[in-house]
Structure 1
Amino acid sequence: MTLIDLTAPTTLPARLQGLPVAIIGAGPIGLATAANLAERGIDFVLLESGDRVGASIEAWGHIRLFSPWKHLVDPASQRLLAETGWVAPPADSLPTGGELVEAFLAPLAALPAIATRTRLGVTVTDVTREGMDRTRTKGRAQTPFLLRVRTADGIEELTARAVVDASGTYRSPNSLGSSGLDPLGLPEVADLVSHALPDVLGRDRALFAGRHTLVVGAGHSAANTLLNLAALAEQEPGTRITWVIRNATAARVSTSPDDELRARASIGTRVDALVAAGRIELVDRFEIVRLARTGGAEASAVHVTGRRGDGLETLTADRIVNATGFRPNLDMLREIRLELDDIVEAPRRLAPLIDPNVHSCGTVEPHGFAELTQPERDFFIVGMKSYGRAPTFLLATGYEQVRSVSAWLAGDSASARNVELVLPATGVCSTDAAPAGGASCCS
């Protein structure tokens, strides 16, 4: 393992003075980073690929979280907002993703200290050091970061003293194939495959009403879609649901009855009841290997072939929902020196704390800059992306991450190392308290 200097800088090298911290992603964690840096008087630029803040959350804005507001508001952000007269929503109420954006993220992003430093419609394609690829070492820590970005006007480059990657994972789904590779034939049927958390009862209703949908995945994203499809089936005759998992059981959907978040605790029970009643057909131990249209290129149904037991089996559906989880997109970081866990692709020091085979959301220990530090000094992956492929992330944990990282960038070692966080028993992830709702992958 590479030796890493964990001492906070007392003064910036001359070449870095006057440069901002670059924050990639204007979701909850990116905005919380901006709020923490603003409180400390550190200049930054916030880069968001969407046309507004919280763009990824708005894609699943119909989902109701099972984390209450008291776990969803970053403390530094709340302090900045309080100066404008903003009042936090009731602490124990459960917002939808859309309400989280409208009631919290949008007002936060509108604060002058943040709005004047935010660029929307800007996609970061590459991060490196100015004039240095990853193989060059001499003077590396004193060299500015270089970010290449794509805008509506073309390609440009920005320099920064530090980089905080809070770009998330929602737009990087895991593969439908159990091998980790896309199934054979996926490009030919891509128009029949929906991303996780489609708005089954709203804007995407026409894609699912009266049709047979195959939901792939064993976590809360799958459970959300299953519950909403079951509600749709009550309203739209001919709506059928098949749930495909690669293991014998969907263990991640099950929750302890001792869960302090009662909405989350009910999700496994509700899905199991629908399976038992025959409203959802469960196909377990099914590993997808190939997809193909039925009847040729113009057909609107798909054959799904998978290994089951010692042979192959084929299912047919009108549509597939890929609810297999998410993974970090690391393509833009090829020239950055990273130490990532071989299994979950999280920062190596963080990975043992979030191993999904051991931890649920609430049993993850508080952690900060020390666990997130990379061999590339002043570069941090935070938020959902810092968890790699582990599904145990929650917003409250991410807020503490960026508070600690911001303190370190300010040279405040004591505050950076003093990491504290109290979580409810068994975790804070998400679900929908409404009868027709469901669960998502998110806090």
Structure 2
Amino acid sequence: MIGLEQLGQQAKEASIHLSRASTKDRNEGLTLIAKQLLEEQEAILKANEEDLLSAEQNQISKAVMDRIRLTPERIKAISDGLLDLVELPDPIGRELDSWTLENGIQLSKVAVPIGVVGIIYEARPNVTVDAAALCLKSGNAVLLRGSSSAIHSNIAIVKAIRSALEQSNMPINSVQLLEDTSRKTAEQMFKMNKYLDVLIPRGSQRLIDTVIEKSSIPVLETGAGNCHMYVDQSADSSMAIQLVINAKTQRPSVCNAIETVLIHKDWFYSFGKDLIDALKDHHVELRGDQQVVSIDPSIKNATEDDWNTEYLDMILAMKIVNSVEEAIEHINHYGTSHSEAIVTTNPDHAVKFLNEVDAACVYHNASTRFTDGFEFGFGAEIGISTQKLHARGPMGLEALTSTKYKLSGEGQYKK
């Protein structure tokens, strides 16, 4: 197993070569990776079975099992995503702005790679491919550190990626995996300022908080998704029920699934029973406030912890509110600034919600499940940022670039 220091050195050297790689070389590399993943599908799925068996023996939750699981369909989708990424414009070398200074010096601002990106993530082996592909497309080397729960899958995937890079004009060390998943090694990675230019955590709030607290490397923060949907007084009943069901059950283990539904009291007393029945039909466990429980005593009483919890499971908290203002106040207090939605036919309430809710993505009459780099047309995403500096929301290629000012003169000097 290669040591962390050596991985860092190799990544730094690869980043220098990558910064000079042509658009053609980077796109050809991605195309080869897409092909290699399909060719090595059997080995990847076999490795994934090891991870799933280990997860089952360790009594890992169904939600985490779903994030670990790979299937032929998922691998095909990952491969197709790489080919979609190839078709996107090259983010590197773009002239973002230009002007001439009073002294005649011509100045241009251009997009350049960040350098070496460190990714620390949990469970999902698809992140291994997404992160590597986005970094390569944007001219960055990447050092990946996944969790022990998907280590066999990650090793198999990175082996396929590096096999493809060997056939390309790209450095093989552009993509590297830290196979030691111990906490001690992770904390050493947090201090690798000499080699890593930015660190991106993806996973639980606990992981993200740990990286932010202990890293001396700049952190591009991704956040947990304690997401809400507010059903307003005027909401169309069939639309509201459909959107709540979709946002909770379509894939409950992901960060853009809702964890709490807030319901205006008037709507609830007209249609609340229909919504509760629909959620139960989809096997959703409900946690409700006193008003909800009074309608259906079989529902568990919600506690303060429920308003703060990202379940990532078929569990939904339900709270009755008296106004759109109360819904906004609840979301801004308990939310994680990820994705929030309002269902309403009242345009004033929609505008108020969209303007006043503090989140990276705010929806009107649509499911929060669209908060995704692919859905936004980014090809893929490195994560969903809930901070306000550099990048916010789904982070695609632009978020993995920095800027450089190029100045050209005719002998001007400072007097």
Structure 1 length as normaliser, TM-score? 0.29
- The structure carrying a bigger helix percent of its residues is 2
Q: Which has the higher contact order (CA 8 A, sep 6+)?
A: 1
Structure 2 length as normaliser, TM-score? 0.30
